[in-house]
Each structure stands twice: as C-alpha cells, then as structure tokens.
Chains A and B, each alone.
Chain A
Amino acid sequence: MIDLLNALLVIVLAMNLFALGTSRIFSVIRIVAAQGALLGALPLLMHQRLSLPVAIAAVAAVALKGIVIPSIMMRALRDAPIKREVEPLIGLLPSIVLGALATAFALLISGPFVNADRGASALIVPASIATILIGFLQLTTRYKAISQAVGYLILENGIYIFGMLLVEAIPLVVEMGMLLDLLVGVFVISIIVNHINRAFSSMDTRRLVSLKE
C-alpha cells in the first residue's frame, strides 16, 4: 500500500514540474485538475478500513478538484484573446529547473523531522512542501491573472497533501467547509478575472498599476 502511495506522490511531484513548463493555460488547468483529482482519491488508499466520512470527503474532493473547479476556470478563460502565458517573469525552462530545485530542497529539509509512523508515507511532508513552493513559484512569476489563480490551486493542493496526515483531527464538516471555501474562492476569482479581461481587454496583471503610493 505504501509503495503505491509513494508512486502516486511521485506522479504528483512530476505534475508540478509539468505544470510549470507548460505555456498553454488550458493544459496547465488540466494538469492541475488531474493532480487535484489524484490527491482527492489518495485518502482511499491510506486506510485499511474505509469509513463513510473518508469516502464522502474523497468523492467530494475528486468531483470538485477534478471537474467543477477546472470547468469554472476554463469558462473564465473562454473570452480571453490570448490563451498562453507569454513571456513569464521567469522562462518556462528556468522555472522547471527552479521547481526541481525546490523539490530537492523540500526532500532534504524534511528528512530529519519525519518518522513514518501510523502507516503514513515518508514522502507526504516533502511532497506537500515541494508542491506549496511550486505553487508560490507559479503564483509569483506568471502575469496572467488566471495563471496566478492556477498557482493558488497548486498551493492548495500542497496543503491538502499535508492534511492527509491528520485525518483524525479534521472532521468531515470542517473538510467539507474547506472544499466549499475553495470552490467559492475559485468562483469569485474567476468572476474577477472575467471583469479584468473586460475592463482592461487583457488578463495581464501588469496593467493593474493605477493604485500605488
């Protein structure tokens, strides 16, 4: 079971780098959706005896992260004239290298803290930290509003990985609340992205510069 879990977490880490290296925004959204769906299903593998709350949470997470959220984001992108991330602050190849470095860094620093108890995988903590760092990278180095929102989703995915260690501490109500917040968050962000697109005829956040000292 642990081997399968580890293998899946490695796939999640690979998806991070794949997302960093893709310029078509549709593809990035699809990659992050697949990542979210995979992560949503992981808790099913971690428990020998499947309980109802875990199953409900997993189904909800897969449905939201894999289907609902990406379709909201793709709708927001539909009216945009340019559907690629052109000239990000850090180019695609250098961002992959930086992402790989962040992953290595996460593996290195979390080594001493992790004891693989309770049937949990030793990869969970480093995978979580690496995904969070890569989410930050995506968030800060892309200029298109929707790409930044995708960065936020990667960040959320990273935090979700950490949450897998704490299934007992997070009751179903709270987990559902977190998912609902994410859904509403993406919904509100997509509306604002749409308005940015209409008001500035572009999704480029470099045009949002009228408010400063």
Chain B
Amino acid sequence: MAFALIFMPMLMAGLAMAIPSNRLRPWLLPVAAAAHSGLTIYVLMRAELQSPSPWLVLDPLGRLILLVVSGLFLFCSIYAAGYLKYRQERSNRVFCACLLFFLGLMSLIAWSHHLGLLWVAMEATTLVTAPLIYFNRSKRSIEATWKYLLVCSVGIALALLGTFFLAYSAMQGGCTPSLLLEDLVACAPRLSKTWLRAAFILLLVGYGTKMGLAPMHTWKPDAYGESPGVIGAVFAGCVTSCAFLAFLRVYQICAAAGEGVFASRLLLFMGLFSMAVAGLFMIGQRDFKRMLAYSSVEHMGILALGLGIGAPALYGSLLHVATNAATKGLLFLSAGNIHRAYASKSSDQVSGALRRLPLSASLFFAGLFAITGSPPFGPFVSEFAILNGAFAAGRFLVAGLFLLFLLVVFVGMGRTTLKVCLGRAPRADTEAVEGIAYRDTFLTVAPIAALMAIVLLLGIYIPSPLGAMLSDAAKYLGSSI
C-alpha cells in the first residue's frame, strides 16, 4: 500500500509528460489527487497495512502528516485545473509532472523511517518544486528560483551532514551504525552527546531552512511571491508540514537521548525569533503574497515554539499543523485569484477586492481573521492549546511574548488586507484592469470555500477520528520525552 501511495503519483507524473494536450493534462492532477486521498483514507483505516517494511512505517505522526498533505493537495489540484485553464498560452507539461511527482515524494516522507531515505526525499522535493516557482518565466521568478535552489540546497546539504553525524554518534556510542529511526531511538541513551548536539543543530538549520524558520527564511517571500498562488498554497501547507515531520523525527531521537532540554531551548528561541522577524517584516508590507509568506514564517515559528514547550503543548502543535495547512491553502488560493484579477499583488494598486471579486475576496478577508487566531476558526483552537500548554509548563515569559507577537502580526496583516479588500474597486476602464477578464469560477472558488468550511469545522468541533489521531500522535511524540 505504501508503494501504491508513493509510486502511483510518480507514474501519473510520467503520464503527464506523455500527454500531448495542454488542455486535458491538468485534469490528471485532481484524478491523481483523488486517488491518493482515497488510498490514504483506506490505509488509515487498516492498521495492518501500515508497516510493510522496517524502512516504511506509518506511525501516528506520519498518519497525521499524510492526511494533511493529501487533503490539501486534493483541493489545490482542483484549483490548479481551473487555474491552468487561464494559462493555456504556456505549456503546463513540466508543471503538472513536477506537482504529481512531488505528491509521491511527500508520501515517501510521511512513510519513511530511515533517515537517509527521508533526506533523499526531502532533497528531491526541493528539486521538483523549483520548476514550479519558475512557471511564470519572468526575470523576477528566475531570481526567486535561484535563491530558493541555492538556499534550500545548501540547507538540505547541512541536514545530510547532520544525518551523518547522528549515525556517527551511534558509532561512537558503540551501537551498530544505522539510520533507522527505531535503531537510533533504541540506542539513544548511548549516543555520543557531542556529536548528537552537533547533529541536532545541523538538522535544525537544514530542515528549518525548508520549513522557513528565521533566519533561514530568506528564500520564502521571494519564492511564494513570484510563484502562482496554488504553488504558494502547496508550499505553505505541504512542503512545510513535511519538513516539520522530518524535524520531529530528529526531535524524537534527541528527546530519547535525554537531550530534550537542550533541544527545547533552541526550539523556543527559533520559534520566538521567527515570530518576531515575521511580525517586523509584515508591518508596512504592501505585497500581499509576500505578507502571506511572512505569515508562513510566523506559523512555522509557532510550530517550533509548541514543540519547544514540550508535552503540554504537543497536541496543540500537531493540531496547528492541520489548521495552518488548511488556512494557508485558502489564503494563497484566494490571493492568487485577486492577483489574477488585478494583475498586481501590491496593495497600492489593489483595492476594493470585495466588490470586484465578492467570493474570493470575502474568503480572503475571513481567512485573515482565521490565520491571526480569531475565534471561531481552527487556528484559534490550536494556538489557544499551545498557549495553555505554555502556562501549564510554567513558561510565562514565553506565553507573554507569544501573545505579543500574535498582536503585532494581527496589526501588520490587518492593514494590508483591509486595503486590499475594502475601498473602491478601480473602474473597469482604467488601465489597472484593462484586458483582464478574470472572474471567479466554480473550479477556482469551490476548493477555497471547502477549505474555509474545514477551517471553521476545526474551530468549532474536532471530529472524533481526527481527535483520536491527534491524541495518538501527541502521545507517541510525548512518550519519547
């Protein structure tokens, strides 16, 4: 079953390369995504299918991430089919193939219990997503792609060095050198502390680059800003969740080795620093896609912070993976629609979006409140759980700074979003909107509305199967602390 989830999208990618029709090819995306989601749900219900080999094990954390990325990808793929209708002037062969291959790699990341294999898959996601950023073929998108490739390749190379350090610390501790998660956790108390700490720092920097934690976030605003909205959604929801999973593996080993305090101190610092940097850059940010990129930096900071707080906040952090993915998905997709309609992503040119695009803009507007943690949306519940955890752990300073940064972010995001959504729409005959015939269509709005429904649902009531999954995952992660 693992092989079906991993190789089916990759085969579909090959098929996408072979299909000659630019009009039919995008429909392969929702087909493959729906099949992937179906298989995912089937695997989640059948526990006996979840460990086909020692290398591929779907543990509670993997289950959660697999569900999140598969679900978000499904909505993004439907949107992509609608989006690519507008971009028929350009070949979408590479775009579709890379996106499908990427889905297969994400499955591999969720299943992988071998840290070497995990690294290979993470590095491969960097490579297949680079052409996606370059889809618009403009000078600006070349620049963004170059920065992304260079920063992430170097970051991921450091993660490989960190992975090697982990195996070497096992060797120094007298265990058989291995990169299997189970072996490393079993050997954890004997791991050489110096090498383990060095490994943790390298892996934090490496996978942190992919997540977009500050100060390794520099590629993020460029890449998210210059790529199509749907790619922003896939990055902010899927790539980051996978990188977070990779990082959770490392954290498990570190905690099992009794280095939890060292790890949590670093995580708290990185988390708060990311939130602070994101907040600073969001104030006065005119480009609404870059604003969303900084918001992603902020939310990665929240995930690191929740992990750093430890056991009481784990449930909240894991729930935040899901709520962040859904909310970021809806924000990037609706921002993509607004960008398309105005041919600009600066709040200097874009105003009155609520009149010009009532559906997309109202979803974008509601998304602002969701992502900044207002009730009754999902992120409120998860952020509140993390805050509760911080108080329960007695970390009052951390909790205070967390609230302060959330406030800064709310002010920063609020100003830009209000300017975009409210006010008068430019008249149809002015040059700003000349020749642009974008109107909301079913394919480009329905996925956003569905994501909004999920965000609302998670805010009001967490379905019991999901709740059980989250508790399992938190317990699994907490047992190693």
Contacts and interface: CB of A to CB of B under 8 A. Distances in A.
A174 B119 CA distance: 9
Interface residues of B, number: 45
Contacts, number: 113
Most B Cβ at <10 Å: residue of A113, A188, A196? A188
A174 B171 contact: no
Interface in B202-241: 221-222, 225-226
Interface string B180-204: 0000000000000011000000000
Nearest to B137: A195
B453 interface: no
A109 B134 CA distance: 42
B171 to A, nearest CB: 7
Contacts of B161: 132, 159, 162
Contacts of B143: 208-211
Interface stretch (A14-22, A32-40, A178-186): A178-186
B154 interface: yes
Given A165-B171, A178-B160, A211 B120 contact: no
B414 interface: no
Nearest to A155: B157
Interface in A190-213: 192, 195-196, 199-200, 205, 208-211, 213
B384 interface: no
A192 B146 contact: yes
Contacts of A145: 146
A111 interface: no
User: Contact size class for A?
Assistant: 35 or more
Contacts of A189: 149, 153
B146 A152 contact: no
Contacts of A113: 194-195
Given A185-B123, A188-B130, A208-B143, A166 B225 contact: no
A177 B134 contact: no
A185 B154 contact: no
B164 A166 contact: yes
A173 B53 CA distance: 14
Interface in A57-100: none
A116 to B, nearest CB: 13
A192 B139 CA distance: 11
A162 B164 contact: yes
Interface in B125-183: 126-127, 130-131, 134, 139-140, 142-147, 149-150, 153-154, 157, 160-161, 164-165, 167-168, 170-171, 176-179
A166 B157 contact: no
A159 B160 contact: yes
A44 B222 CA distance: 44
Nearest to B148: A192
B157 A171 contact: no
A188 B127 contact: yes
Given A139-B154, A178-B160, A192-B134, A170 B116 contact: yes
